[in-house]
Amino acid sequence: MKYRTFGKTGLRISELALGAMTFGEELAWGEGKEESRKVFDTFVEAGGNFIDTANVYTGGTSERYLGEFMKNCREKMVLATKYAFSTDPRDPNASGSHRKNMVQAVEASLRRLRTDYVDILWAHAYDRYTPMEEVMRSFDDLVRQGKVLYPGVSDAPAWIVAHANTLASLRGWSPFAGLQIEYSLIQRTVERDLIPMAEHFGLCVAAWSPLASGLLSGKYRSSGASAGRRRLDAVQFVQRDERNLRIADAVSEVAEGIGCTPSQVALSWVRQKAPSAIPIIGARTAEQLRENLQCLDCALTPEQMEQLEKVSAVQPGFPHDFLRRVHEGIKGNVDLEKMF
């Protein structure tokens, strides 16, 4: 395991993150304490130090498990949690990115995690009802109090994140240091604006669902074959349409050619395609995690990257397609008026 800095900060994080959404049995795809402990120990033994959870994962059980597991190694862990999603449907203020929910959510998370600070706090999703001035000032207050070391944002439009960090820079507040987004061979639309924006601002990109909820694990092929099912088929959240199954087929073909598993190929693609990205591995068992960790030894050639690029390509859309034509015209010294 190698390490890199978290965005423009000096914080050292492992090149893979462990997602703890499967810690707890409240949801059908999770595991109990014993297996969750094995997953945690396996990750730490491999040199991993970046742990990602949320206050709503398995009803808070994920945070409680981690608080127990980290009892003797908290200082060595880079612990990230999230807030914003509802923790009580009866209370309108138990959700959202506003100051009241942020403060209450952090205090509750700290109790469950048995710690007095979290390294990274993500705003779990963009809340269009709360002004970004309130969000960023509230983050800055928690940073000054020492309860949060680095702010981060998840699942938000690129222009919102750019606005927030520009605002923080002008006001002298703590900016977002990381961006968490869905990113995989199946979900590449983030390459249009989100990833370029993150690179511009120097944000670390934490990629959730890099295996597309298991679709890229090798269990599913266009032939319809499935090598086993979970208690709840997470792939129901990702369409098994013709395009996505073609991508799954291509991943399996590359894997067979180089002696790696499809999961390792899919994770390696994310790491090689976006060097700033940290795949979040959400393994349910220690065996799954050990397999996924071996992606660090799986290197794809330019030809294999190109093969996967072609089958998974997405249209950049406007204005990117338009600007590409303009730039190509300028580069080729072409009369732009004849291009349209």
CATH code of 192's domain: 3.20.20.100
CA distances from 87 to 12, 218, 310 (A): 31, 35, 42
Residue 335 resides in a domain: no
Cβ atoms of 144 and 117 closer than 8 Å: no
Say if 325 falls within a structural domain.
no
pLDDT on residue 268: 98
Q: What is the DSSP string of 285-331?
A: SHHHHHHHHGGGG----HHHHHHHHHHH-----TTHHHHHHHHHHHH
Asked if residue 323 belongs to a domain, the reply is no
Cα angle for residues 14, 15, 18 (degrees, 5° grid): 70
Q: Is 223 exposed, middle or buried (0-12, 13-18, 19+ CB in 10 A)?
A: exposed
Residue 10, φ and ψ in degrees, nearest 5: -95, 5
Domain-embedded: residue 338: no
- Domain tally, the chain: 1
Is residue 326 domain-resident? no
Cα–Cα distance, 23 to 35 (Å, whole number): 9
pTM of this structure: 0.91
DSSP element (H, E) containing 51: strand 50-52
Check residue 230 and give its pLDDT. 41
Q: 191: helix, coil or strand?
A: helix
Per-residue pLDDT of the chain (340 residues; tens, 9 = 90+): 999 999 999 999 999 999 999 999 987 778 999 999 999 999 999 999 999 999 999 999 999 999 999 999 999 999 999 999 999 999 999 999 999 999 999 999 999 999 999 999 999 999 999 999 999 999 999 999 999 999 999 999 999 999 999 999 999 999 999 999 999 999 999 999 999 999 999 999 999 999 999 999 988 777 655 544 443 444 456 777 899 999 999 999 999 999 999 999 999 999 999 998 999 999 999 999 999 999 999 999 999 999 999 999 999 999 999 998 888 877 665 555 555 5
Are the CB atoms for 181 and 207 separated by under 8 Å? Answer: yes
Does 334 map to a domain? Answer: no
Domain-embedded: residue 318: no
Owning domain of residue 114? 3-312
Positions marked catalytic? 57
Q: What is the dihedral of CA 136, 139, 144, 150, to 10 degrees?
A: -110
pLDDT at position 337 is 56
Decide if 329 is inside a domain: no
